[in-house]
A and B are shown apart, each in its own frame.
Chain A
Amino acid sequence: MKKLLGAILSVVLMVGLLAGCVSSNSGTTSKANGSENADKSGKLKIAVVPKLIGIPYFNASEKGAVQAGKDLGVDVIYTGPTEADAAQQVKVIEDLISQKVDVIAVAPNDQAALTPVLKKAKDAGIKVMDWDTPADQSVVDLSVHQIDDEAYGRHITKSLVEQMGTEKGEIAILTGGLSAANLNSWIDGAKKELEENYPGLKLVSDKIATDEKQPVAYQKTLDLIKSYPDLKGIMAFSTIAPLGAAQAIQEKGLQDKIAIIGANLPKDSIPFLEDGALDLAILWEPDKLGYLTVALAKDLAEGKMPQDGQEVKNVGKIEVWEDGKTVIMGPPTDFTKENAGNYDF
């Protein structure tokens, strides 16, 4: 018995050791090649911290950020926690402060939880900005948004009307989760557009939660089709919900009857876009967002603030709000069956 226990204990320890290697490897790859020769060359060090590493969306933005680092001659450190957890993110930022980077750009998992550590970074003379998701606006020098939430919601409503080919009928809204702040503000934008410009469209129910899971979205869409046989369109917010909804439409052969607009990434949607079950996927390009973040971070470190209408290379024209620090990357990108194959995210 003792022998067996010993053997098992050692196996567990070995696994723990290996797991440790793995996670620290994936967490620090970009860090390592970023900071190696930074001190010698005197290059600017820009840290970009995503909500978490290892999901397709943030992998794509990493690509853009690293590319920008190469193009602009700055060292980019792209590192973050392995799960969307604010406490782990604080640790990552503490680590970056002691590495004396020049700029920290963070996509916070929790606004309030990050404020103290960002203040600390500021006191250490590090420029602080947020990207992807806003942080506490009193501590950041710059706030990079992928889109204007309200304009995005309105754009989705307009696209749905276009795909339906009519301004009358019943429509439904699917969402990833009822408590997701960004999804809610997009949906509010979409609803505003409905109320103001399309009185003929009727929402059959309040937004329906799909728990960020494809089978749930699939089932709820089936139920929707059955209970509202005249349903003409579905707006699906979140990257997974449109896939489940499109699967239901595909299996019931309702491609021409019901239009779906999804807020998702092109690569996952290809089979549904080609089949016509999903009419359009609308999102921004995460790699461009990473690129823009690094480009603006470099300007910030050099004391330059962005200007409204400024042209950023490889990204396009950006919009700056009146407060002078809120940057909007630009209008969202429409992914159709023609262009979806060109993206690798």
Chain B
Amino acid sequence: MKSILKSKEMSIALIIVMLSIVLSFISPVFFTFENITDILKGNAVLGILAIGMTLVIITGGIDVSVAAVTTAVIVILGKILVFLPDSPISIVLMFIIAPLIGVILGALNGMLVSKIQIPAIVVTLGTMSMINGIILYITNGQYLNSTSFPKIFVKFANFEIFGISILIILFALISIGAWYLLKYTVIGREVLAIGGNKESSIRAGINFDKVQIFVYGFMGLLAGVAAIAQLSYTKAVDPNGLLGFEMQVIAAVVLGGANIMGGRGTIIGTFLGVLLLGIMQNGLILAHIDVFWQKVVVGAIILLAVTFDQIQYKRSKDKLAKIEVEA
């Protein structure tokens, strides 16, 4: 019990609970089923990308090309959807094509990072710029609305189970899948091992290159799924819609307790980080806070959450050191 209370997820969960209590007092609509599902639906894309980013950050890497990769898949999907027939096969095709393109682009990042050993931030900055340039050339910045998409796609985008949007279900499935992957599969344990101590895990026989290609490929896969989610959410192709989104993704992961230098990070933490960002954005309008103050409040809450988490982490580390001395 004590270990749960002290865990790093706990601090951020606490902040979320406190924030929610305050918001429910201020605005009666905050704690309604409709509003909660709106928050989750609105942040499904952020969440899916943040899950992938968590794995990358655990291994000590970073991928700033996520928004560009997602946009690239959205643009390609938009072009293909126009030609697809109005039948369920189109949806199946979409779920094959989008992740596939994502994996290819992600694995390309992974290859460059692992085989040529260029720092991840340089590689992904480069691919981001290239992809953005190609997107601009192909689309000319042209916005494309859903009138030309098959009807089945709009139906899919509006699909709900017990009032819960397909986007939330997608997000949940991916969270659970990634959690299982990290906890119970060999490759997942290898990712954590590399994050914990790179040198010793390589000596223990873990193939570092393979793990790196895997995490960037996995990131690409999720970027493909996120593209489907984003396309369903806006029901339009907006080539500039995700510009700069990578910063929010990274912010959510770091807010969730991951260490940007690698080694620390959990799926549950990231999930909570996404939730906190979402609740903040949602709550600020509901709480009738003035626009200019909203940014100040967002910054203050982020600092509070991270400080709280860091203090907890340091304390637990100090204790660990003591035990070692005593022994």
Contacts and interface: CB of A to CB of B under 8 A. Distances in A.
Contact of B291 (A209, A213, A218): A209
Interface stretch (A29-37, A43-51, A53-61): A53-61
A205 B285 CA distance: 9
Interface in A9-33: 15, 19, 22-23, 26
A287 to B, nearest CB: 16
A214 interface: yes
The majority secondary structure among interface residues of chain A is: helix
A220 interface: yes
Interface residues of A, number: 40
B140 A227 contact: no
Contact of A4 (B38, B115, B243, B285): B115
Contact of B290 (A26, A206, A218): A206
Contacts of B243: 213
A205 B291 contact: yes
A240 B238 contact: yes
A214 to B, nearest CB: 5
Interface in B123-152: 130, 133, 136-137, 140-143, 145-147
A213 B236 contact: no
A226 interface: yes
A274 to B, nearest CB: 9
Contacts of B136: 54, 82
A171 to B, nearest CB: 15
A312 interface: no
A201 interface: no
A169 interface: no
A241 to B, nearest CB: 12
A268 interface: yes
B155 interface: no
B137 A271 contact: no
A173 to B, nearest CB: 10
A13 to B, nearest CB: 13
Given A54-B141, A215-B241, A206 B291 contact: yes
A223 B285 contact: yes
A214 B238 contact: yes
B140 A208 contact: no
Contacts of A226: 29, 34-35, 38, 286
B238 A59 contact: no
Contacts of B20: none
A208 B288 CA distance: 11
A215 B291 contact: no
B215 to A, nearest CB: 21
Nearest to A56: B142
B140 A56 contact: yes
A219 interface: yes
A315 interface: no
Contacts of A4: 115
A107 interface: no
Interface in B25-50: 27, 29, 34-35, 38, 42, 45
Interface of B: 27, 29, 34-35, 38, 42, 45, 115-116, 130, 133, 136-137, 140-143, 145-147, 158, 230, 233-236, 238, 240-243, 281-282, 285-286, 288, 290-292
Given A56-B143, A226-B35, A226-B38, 6 more contacts: A206-B290, A206-B291, A208-B285, A214-B234, A215-B42, A243-B236
